Amino acid sequence: MARDVSDATPITSRDELVAWVAEGEKPREAWRIGTEHEKVPFYVADARPVPFDGARGIETVLEGLMGATGWQPITDRGRLIGLFEGDGGGAVSLEPGGQFELSGALLTDVHATAAELDEHLRLLAGVADPLGIGFLDLGMSPLWSREETPVMPKSRYAIMMGYMPKVGRLGLDMMLRTATVQVNLDYASEADMVRKLRVSLALQPLSTALFANSPFTEGRPNGYLSMRSQIWTDTDPHRTGMMPFAFEDGFGYERYVDWLIDVPMYFVKRGDVYHDVAGASFRDLLAGRLPQLPGERATRSDWANHVSTVFPEVRLKRFLEMRGMDAGPREMLVAAPAFWVGLLYDQGALDAAWDLVRDWSAQERQALRDAVPREGLAARIGGRSLAEIARDALAIAREGLARRAVSGGLRRDETGYLDPLDEIAATGRPRARDLLDRYHGRWGGSVAPAFRECVLLDPAPA
């Protein structure tokens, strides 16, 4: 999330929280695509992590990017910690370990997301290259320990880092060492939201398997294809997971809000100050009886910020956020929105995708989620391998994109962006397996070559 929300309008009832989510409904013609992707910075000369401070630090990169884009600064206690373009536009933010994130603008098609990514990489290379800084295209930093990883000066992260070890063993690894690509999509109604949420939750492990790209930790194989995904299983059980209740009869906005309101809070922001209320109840804030802030009552910004601190495999805000994928090379960052748009933005594809997953039980979905970080496309559900299911899902997505028939540049439609995923599904080999082959082969048991071969390059140098 690029910026914490500031809206002091009071909220006094659960119904207002439900209405806030329902405000996300949009007619089909107003549906948009938002893509977020993180990348781990490093010094090209010696593969060291990049600190926030200094003439060649992250803040300097942000300053240069601000000059190149004209975007507005986001500050925290006087430090530049992000940029934003304006309403509906893009933003740049920092994850706790310095992962550099582009939160893309709200765009109409996958061609536009690809163009946005290319322009971002071009501008970023223009700033970072002279500083000797590169960016890994991996889902987890492959070399540095937690202690070696710089921590960005964002107030909310200090609160989260103090709380995380109390609720899970790997929360700090999630914060400091992982990188993801996420896709944000709209819904037309409560019923449309429910169908899309159920399909995307059921298929999130499939996307994890297709995008698996984090097989190294601290210089050696970690035993997983997607260690990033595995880390989420031991981060915080209150705010993560497959949300089995989303498949229960009667599920909708109200049931989601009832779950969310009982997720422990991290902070309450008043002005520029983040008040540490980690573990507190939003119900208490709603009622004006939060022990840490006596008399304070909930506002719309409190609710929006709280919604941003839950991390299920698919997150409902006032859009649906697909959260199961490792960050990767440029073609994979563009394949992510193509996959989910193809499945969810065409009614025929959405119905076919539901038919693909509707008979899976909650136990089967969870077992698949548990197996995928290690087994990838070899994991099984309903008597089939995930590789088989991937081929079916990709065919559905391709048909959905073909029916959209959105042309752009040299491409006739958006289907070509799925080609890298088709190859992975056909071979059963996500990028993580290829990287492991390199490690055991020509890399000679070292991850050092990753800092040359796993770099997110500017596709169109200035």
Geometric angle at alpha carbon 136, from 107 and 109, rounded to 5° = 15
- For residue 5, pLDDT over 70 is answered with no
Tokens, residue 434: 């290829």
Our measurement of the distance from residue 325's CA atom to the centroid of its chain's CA atoms, rounded to an integer in Å, reads: 7
pLDDT in tens, 309-361: 999 999 999 999 999 999 999 999 999 999 999 999 999 999 999 999 999 99
Tell me the three state secondary structure of residue 91.
Answer: strand
In CATH terms, is domain 14-453 a member of 1.20.1260.10?
no
Instruction: Read off the tokens for 109.
Output: 């098609």
Q: What is the pLDDT of residue 459?
A: 59
Q: Is the pLDDT of residue 232 over 70?
A: yes
Q: What is the pLDDT of residue 7?
A: 85
Confidence of residue 408 (pLDDT cuts 50, 70, 90): confident
The model's pLDDT over 126-169, given as tens digits with 9 standing for 90+, comes to 999 999 999 999 999 999 999 999 999 999 999 999 999 999 99
Query: How confident is the model at residue 275, as a pLDDT?
Result: 96
Concatenate the DSSP letters of all residues of 5-37 into one string. -----B--SHHHHHHHHHTT---GGG--EEEEE
Q: Does position 57 have pLDDT exceeding 80, yes or no?
A: yes
Q: How many CA atoms lie within 13 A of 64 on its CB side?
A: 19
- Under the banding of pLDDT at 50, 70 and 90, the label for residue 460 is very low
Total residue count of the chain as it appears in this document? 462
Which run of H or of E encompasses 221?
strand 220-221
Average pLDDT over every residue of 440-457? 97
Q: Given this model, what pLDDT does residue 31 score?
A: 98
Tokens for 78, please give them: 């006087």
d(CA 269, CA 280): 14
Between helix 190-210 and helix 386-404 the angle, nearest 10°, is 130
Q: CA 205 to CA 389: how far, in whole Å? A: 11
Q: How far is CA 190 from each of CA 77, 258, 371, rounded to the nearest angstrom?
A: 40, 16, 31
Tokens of 40: 């781990």
Give the pLDDT confidence score for residue 1 in this predicted structure: 45
Tell me the mean pLDDT in the region 404-420.
89
Q: What is the pLDDT of residue 430?
A: 98
Q: What percent of the chain has pLDDT over 70?
A: 97
SS3 at position 184: strand
Per-residue model confidence (pLDDT) at position 86: 82
Please report which confidence band the pLDDT of residue 91 belongs to, taking 50, 70 and 90 as the band edges. very high
In tens, the pLDDT along 274-310 reads 999 999 999 999 999 999 999 999 999 999 999 999 9
pLDDT at residue 458 in the model: 65
Mean pLDDT confidence for 176-201 = 98
Q: Where are the domains of the chain?
A: 14-453
Between the CA of residue 168 and those of 178, 233, 265, what are the distances in Å? 16, 9, 16
Please report the pLDDT score of residue 462 as a whole number. 34
Average pLDDT over residues 412-435: 97
Rounded alpha-carbon distances, angstroms, from residue 218 to 74, 173, 225, 341, 446 = 32, 11, 15, 35, 10
Torsion angles phi and psi, residue 263, rounded to 5? -70, 130
Let me know: does 245 contact 255? Beta carbons within 8 Å: yes
Instruction: Using DSSP bridges, classify how beta strands 79-84 and 72-76 pair: parallel, antiparallel or unpaired.
Output: antiparallel
pLDDT at 461: 40
Q: Name the DSSP class of 361.
A: -
DSSP per position, 275-336: EE-TT--HHHHHHT--TTSTT---BHHHHHHHHTT-EESEEESSSEEEEEEE---HHHHHHH
Work out the mean pLDDT of the chain and round it to a whole number: 96
What are residue 38's DSSP bridge partners? 101
At residue 3 the predicted structure's pLDDT band, cuts being 50, 70 and 90, is low
